[in-house]
């Protein structure tokens, strides 16, 4: 698997998304920004050479953002600054 299905964003009731030990997955779909109900997004040891979609800034309900051990992650998108409801942003070993 090199990414997540774009239709994942059609799961409108999802409030938590955890992705763990997926270093073969290299990208998240842009449509992830459509998941308005998402409160927590956690990536652990994921996305070996990936980038996060700019549309993560559209997740205005996001309160928790955790990134651990994603060493291939080059940078966090500037749009994360638009997450006015964000209470915690953890980035470790990236």
Report domain extents, the chain.
Answer: 6-92
Digit-coded pLDDT (tens) for 23-44? 566 677 788 888 888 999 888 8
* Strand order from edge to edge, sheet including 40-46: 16-22, 40-46, 64-68, 88-92
Q: What integer best gives the mean pLDDT of the chain? A: 80
Cα separation, 60 vs 34, whole angstroms: 10
Q: Which residue has the higher pLDDT, 94 or 11?
A: 11
Neighbours of 16 (CB within 10 A): 11
d(CA 23, CA 35): 23
Which of 47, 7, 13, 8 is closest to 27 using CA atoms? 47
Determine whether domain 6-92 maps to CATH 3.80.10.10. yes
Of the chain, the end-to-end C-alpha distance in Å amounts to 21
């Amino acid at each position: 698997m090199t990414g997540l299905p774009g239709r994942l964003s059609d799961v409108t009731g999802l409030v938590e998304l955890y992705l763990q030990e997926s270093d073969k997955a290299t990208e998240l779909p842009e449509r992830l920004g459509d998941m308005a109900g998402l409160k927590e997004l956690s990536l652990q040891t994921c996305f070996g050479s990936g980038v996060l979609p700019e549309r993560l800034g559209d997740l205005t309900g996001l309160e928790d953002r955790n990134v651990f051990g994603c060493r291939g992650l080059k940078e966090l998108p500037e749009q994360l600054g638009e997450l006015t409801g964000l209470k915690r942003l953890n980035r470790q070993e990236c």
